[in-house]
Amino acid sequence: MKTDVVIIGGGPSGLLLSQLLNKAGIGTVVLERRTRKYVLSRIRAGVLEGGTVDLLERAGCGDRMHREGDPHEGCYLSTERGMFRVDFRDLCGRQVMVYGQTEATEDLYAAQDEMGATVIHEAMEVMPHDLDGDPYVTYEKDGETHRIDCDFVAGCDGYHGVSRSVIPKGKKEEIERVYPFGWLGILSRTRPAADELIYANHPRGFALASMRNANLSRYYIQVPSDDDPEAWSDEAFWAELKRRLPGEVAETMETGPSIEKSVAPLRSYVCTRMRHGALFLAGDAAHIVPPTGAKGLNLAMSDIHYLSEGLIAHYKDNDGAGLDAYSDRALRRVWRAIRFSWWMTSILHRYPEQDDFDQRMQEMELENLRDLDAARRAMALNYVGLPL
């Protein structure tokens, strides 16, 4: 088989790239290790930046998002002194869209079906070869080894994928911060606790009240990163969540059975080289952020914006400048998002080694946000997404 670009990974990064390239007349083959059903069973991000909304519209995946998604013009921060709102619309004239990553991925799959795109599921042992010469990718399926010759390979295979590992250790720097806690998240068919997201700083630990729609709520509480989700009964989760949310919210919130329960460890990770010959890394294959700033999925989407622009310029105008600049351009935005996610994580979580001074500084960061428009504006500009 021969194509222009082989895309490893059929998650949001890989599918968006395939869709944008196909719309520009560029051939792709997507190789996904899992079944489509498995990919669409994963519950992950919930907040889309305006830039991500624009990208999905450009990809022809805006209709259901605008029908079923929920624009949010602000969010709440909660401390022991009570809850206050950060008004994105008032502070920076923009908003976010609450629409689950699972839904956006489903829309991308539907658009790729309509495009007649080649998405191969259960492609095992995927491996890129000869990235400095005549690139090709091999994979196993139905007991046979297959080969696809191509011009470029996009590594959209997430943090545990194969792509990053083919970049020689001496050619890349990996910068990481592992946070000393994780998030225990549940999904429940209940009315959301509030009309907008609530990020809560509490002496017992962080909590987040989010949602997917009017009848589907998503909640998280900070737990030790090695906590076992099965050790938490639904009752224990709801009781702990209510302790950490503002009283007026906890008193009236609806609880119910969890339909998904998982623990996600929090880390920041960056591979400082997102290109190696004909291979380009995008999304979680290149970087990971703690979900506190709702940046993970949005960063994956901005990578694809830059990468698709570079590939289209290469094929349409024989112009390689976008591809040459891709890694530096994407990483500038990645590091800004990592800083914001680190800052949001640092002001909202309880750190095991936190001393009284740390505690006071955290409280003053939150008081700054409560009292100063300028502090809230800086948060709002980062939360809704810096310009692409």
Residue among 202, 287, 295, 349 flagged as catalytic: 295
- 199 classed as catalytic: yes
Write each residue from 238 to 267 as x if it is in contact with ligand FAS (CB under 6 A), else as -, in one continuous string: ------------------------x-x---
The β-bridge partners of 141 are 144
Going along 215-311, which residue ranges are E strands? 216-223, 258-271, 275-276, 279-281, 287-288
Distance in angstroms (rounded) separating the CA atoms of residues 60 and 63: 8
Residue among 72, 202, 314, 349 flagged as catalytic: 72
Write each residue from 40 to 79 as x if it is in contact with ligand FAS (CB under 6 A), else as -, in one continuous string: ----xxx---------------------------------
Distance in angstroms (rounded) separating the CA atoms of residues 190 and 195: 13
Using the rule CB under 6 A, is 46 a contact of ligand PHB? yes
Pairing, β 216-223 against β 124-129: unpaired
Least distance to ligand FAS, CB of residue 34, Å: 4
Residue among 76, 136, 139, 199 flagged as catalytic: 199
- 291 classed as catalytic: yes
Strand arrangement of the beta sheet that strand 118-120 belongs to: 118-120, 28-31, 5-8, 152-155, 279-281, 275-276
Torsion angles phi and psi, residue 250, rounded to 5: -60, -35
Residue 46's contacts (CB-CB under 8 Å, 6 or more residues apart) are 98, 99, 100, 101, 210, 211, 212, 218, 294
Q: Which does 330 bind (CB under 5 to 8 A by kind): ligand FAS, ligand PHB, none?
A: none
Using the rule CB under 6 A, is 292 a contact of ligand PHB? yes
Which of residues 9, 69, 205, 246 is near ligand FAS by CB under 6 A?
9
Residue among 202, 246, 291, 326 flagged as catalytic: 291
Using the rule CB under 6 A, is 100 a contact of ligand FAS? no
Residue 302's contacts (CB-CB under 8 Å, 6 or more residues apart) are 51, 52, 330, 333, 388
Strand arrangement of the beta sheet that strand 136-141 belongs to: 124-129, 136-141, 144-149
- Token pair belonging to 203: 């002496």
- 295 classed as catalytic: yes
* Burial of 89 (C-beta count, 10 Å sphere; 0-12/13-18/19+): middle
Distance in angstroms (rounded) separating the CA atoms of residues 326 and 306: 6
Using the rule CB under 6 A, is 32 a contact of ligand FAS? yes
Q: Which does 128 bind (CB under 5 to 8 A by kind): ligand FAS, ligand PHB, none?
A: none
- 99 classed as catalytic: no
Which of residues 22, 28, 210, 382 is near ligand PHB by CB under 6 A?
210
Which span (157-165, 291-299, 304-312, 369-377) binds ligand PHB, by CB under 6 A? 291-299
- Residue (111 or 123) nearer to ligand FAS, CB: 123
Distance in angstroms (rounded) separating the CA atoms of residues 300 and 65: 18
Q: Which residue is nearest to ligand PHB (CB)?
A: 46
Least distance to ligand FAS, CB of residue 236, Å: 20
The residues carrying an active-site annotation are 72, 199, 291, 295, 383
Residues found near ligand FAS in the complex (CB under 6 A): 8-14, 31-34, 39, 44-46, 101, 123, 126, 156-158, 160-162, 262, 264, 283-284, 291, 294-297, 300
Residues found near ligand PHB in the complex (CB under 6 A): 45-47, 197, 210, 218, 291-292, 294
